Chains A and B, each alone.
Chain A
Amino acid sequence: MAQRRTAWTRLTTPFANIPASTATTLALAMWIAVIGGWALLSYGRVVPNMFLPTPGTVLQTAYRMSLDGSLFYHTFTSAKVVILGFIVSSAIAVPLGLWMGTYRAVQAPLEPLVNFIRYLPVTSFVPLFILWIGIGIEQRIAVIFFGTFFQQLVMISDCARSVSRDLVNASYTLGTKRSEAVWHVIFPAALPAILDTLRVTMGWAWTYLVVAELVAASSGLGYISLKAMRGFQVDVIFMAIAAIGLLGLITDTAFRILRARVAPWAA
């Protein structure tokens, strides 16, 4: 095939595909730029190390904390809180959201309430949760739940509502009963969009981790960064942030794989 387009034309054409190797190179270049910039600023003492640790120090800290097992311990505690909060939230939001998107009679009472709660800052509820639930892991799970659930509910309800009416109509003309439509048609039709919603909200759940561990936690990645702040251990804060980001990346990938497995028919 004749190469009539130059590489530059392809890169600057809207929506045009670029070779996988180019995409990988660009992604790597971005990371190198970010870490390189960081190295330049820290090793070059442009920013004092008290505020910006060098990449080397952070790696050393990560290595030290891996050896004594504390990194694993804090990561495990945090992951447990986030994943439990996310699972509890999703387990209720998926069926309820499906109902909400399917039946106007469920949507009408829930939507105004949910949209009210959805805009409340999660942090403002931390004191309430401590009063009500105490300071155990339940309180931290509650924070993750509160930050995730109402967003999930609205988004999943939208997934259900955007299922094609004619798809449901077609199922009726094939013998589906009205009561069966949610399970037999709307749920499978909305499944890819629901999995995408779960993937996105999983990311949000991670972002509430530090809020969840703000008060009364005694372990976890959010807790050690807060403790490190008091002791001016900037390297520990950096390591904790990197660990949360890495965990987010892993769960995101896991969800992408899950979606490809569960809904191979969806593009």
Chain B
Amino acid sequence: MGSLTMNASSQTAAGSRVAMTETIKANNLDGAAHAAVDQRSAVTTMAIEDVTLRYGDANGVLALDDVSLKVAKNEFCVIVGPSGCGKSSLLYLAAGLNDATSGSIKVDGREVIEPGPDRGMVFQSYTLFPWLTVRANIEYGPKRKGLPAEQRKQIVDQYLNEVGLAPFADHYPAQLSGGMKQRVAIARALANDPAVLLMDEPFGALDSQTRGTMQKLLLGVWERQQKTVLFVTHDIDEALVLGDRVLVMTARPGKIKAEIKVDIPRPRSMDVILEPDFIALKRRILGLLHDEIDEDH
């Protein structure tokens, strides 16, 4: 699609970014993503303001306490936190699948009041429609939108290729491995061209090798398709490999404790986890999370 022009225009942006992080060696093969990062401050895609979530009545459990965050257009934003810190709950609120007790969530300036195709979501559990083939699963959203068949086919073919599953187009989900299922789930969400892609520990159920492959694939898709992503995980390596920015969340009540910019140049290889800058960031996040656990006990 527009990736050719994107590549060309992003060369200068990529150049400036390398200058910014001179100390880190940049293996600059595909600079598409860098334009995205530099546009960050320009446009806000998702704005979460003072969101509080309390289960049950006024004395119920406080799951999220006054959480505010912004996700810029084309940014890859990751929320990392211990299990039960409410990071998934926050994502469900952003999707419109649940109502906040107070506060507001806006996507492209519009208040989120119910779920919709502008906020695509990939879940930790496998949520492909088992009665539909891979092709029909990806086509589901465009079909609901009422797009003509020809256009639907074009979209489906594009995303089938994007996640490398064209040979499996006519398979049913039961015939796919876990990693393949999540690839279809990503393609299915992207087929709606959402303003923001919400990802709730999408690789949490996969083995570590497959997880690495999936991270690489997701980064490739994100760099080529220029998407805004809000990604939730408890895996610090995953957060740092993927994100432009990592938000560290505390548990009970969930609050954002720290914001960490990940100044590691893109495209990132999976070996990035061995680099000193990466390890330094990881140590910082581990420290933040350990404080949390120490406070707890």
B125 touches A188 (CB 8 A): no
22 contacts between A and B (CB under 8 A): A167-B129, A169-B95, A169-B115, A169-B121, A169-B123, A169-B127, A170-B127, A171-B140, A172-B95, A172-B96, A173-B115, A173-B121, A173-B198, A174-B140, A174-B188, A174-B192, A188-B131, A191-B131, A265-B172, A265-B174, A266-B130, A266-B174
Set of chain B residues within 8 Å of A264, measured between Cβ atoms = 172
**Of A164, A173, A185, A267, which one neighbours B189 at CB under 8 angstroms?**
A173
A166 to B123, CA, bound (A): 8
A5 to B130, CA, bound (A): 36
Does A176 have its Cβ within 8 Å of any Cβ on chain B? yes
Does B84 have its Cβ within 8 Å of any Cβ on chain A? no
A223 to chain B, nearest CB (A): 43
B152 to chain A, nearest CB (A): 13
Does B116 have its Cβ within 8 Å of any Cβ on chain A? yes
A173-B119, A174-B189 known; A167-B127 Cβ under 8 A? yes
Does B110 have its Cβ within 8 Å of any Cβ on chain A? no
Does B254 have its Cβ within 8 Å of any Cβ on chain A? no
A174 touches B130 (CB 8 A): no
Set of chain B residues within 8 Å of A231, measured between Cβ atoms = none
Residue of B nearest to A176 (CB): B144
B126-160 interface bits toward A, Cβ cutoff 8 Å, 1 = contact, 0 = none: 01011100000000110011000000000000000
Does B258 have its Cβ within 8 Å of any Cβ on chain A? no
Set of chain A residues within 8 Å of B129, measured between Cβ atoms = 167, 171, 185, 188-189
A172-B97, A173-B116, A265-B174 known; A166-B127 Cβ under 8 A? yes
Listed residue (A175, A185, A189, A266) with the most chain B CB atoms within 10 angstroms of its CB: A175
B106 to chain A, nearest CB (A): 17
B262 to chain A, nearest CB (A): 27
Does A254 have its Cβ within 8 Å of any Cβ on chain B? no
Determine the main DSSP class of A at the interface with B: helix
A170 to B182, CA, bound (A): 13
Does A30 have its Cβ within 8 Å of any Cβ on chain B? no
Residues of chain B having any CB pair with chain A under 8 Å:
92, 95-97, 114-117, 119-121, 123, 125, 127, 129-131, 140-141, 144-145, 172-174, 185, 188-189, 192, 198
**Of B125, B141, B174, which one neighbours A175 at CB under 8 angstroms?**
B141
Set of chain B residues within 8 Å of A166, measured between Cβ atoms = 123, 125, 127
Does A263 have its Cβ within 8 Å of any Cβ on chain B? yes
In the complex, besides A188-B131, A267-B174, 16 extra interface pairs with C-beta distance below 8 angstroms are: A164-B127, A166-B125, A166-B127, A169-B97, A169-B115, A170-B185, A171-B129, A171-B140, A172-B95, A172-B97, A173-B116, A174-B120, A174-B144, A175-B144, A189-B130, A266-B131
Residue of B nearest to A265 (CB): B172
Set of chain A residues within 8 Å of B127, measured between Cβ atoms = 164, 166-167, 169-170
A166-B125, A170-B123, A267-B174 known; A175-B117 Cβ under 8 A? yes
A175 to B141, CA, bound (A): 6
Which chain A residues (186-221) contact chain B, with CB distance < 8 Å?
188-189, 191
Residue of B nearest to A177 (CB): B144
**Of A173, A176, A267, which one neighbours B97 at CB under 8 angstroms?**
A173
Set of chain B residues within 8 Å of A164, measured between Cβ atoms = 125, 127
A221-250 interface bits toward B, Cβ cutoff 8 Å, 1 = contact, 0 = none: 000000000000000000000000000000
A169-B123, A173-B95, A173-B120 known; A265-B115 Cβ under 8 A? no
A175 to B117, CA, bound (A): 5
A263 touches B131 (CB 8 A): yes
B144 touches A265 (CB 8 A): no
Residue of B nearest to A191 (CB): B131
A170 to B132, CA, bound (A): 14
Residue of A nearest to B92 (CB): A169
Set of chain A residues within 8 Å of B174, measured between Cβ atoms = 265-267
Set of chain A residues within 8 Å of B125, measured between Cβ atoms = 164, 166
Listed residue (A169, A170, A173) with the most chain B CB atoms within 10 angstroms of its CB: A173
Set of chain B residues within 8 Å of A176, measured between Cβ atoms = 144
**Of B115, B131, B145, which one neighbours A172 at CB under 8 angstroms?**
B115
| Shortest 5 CB-CB contacts between residues of A and residues of B | A172-B115, A175-B144, A175-B117, A170-B127, A174-B141
A175 touches B192 (CB 8 A): yes
Set of chain B residues within 8 Å of A167, measured between Cβ atoms = 127, 129
A191 to B172, CA, bound (A): 16
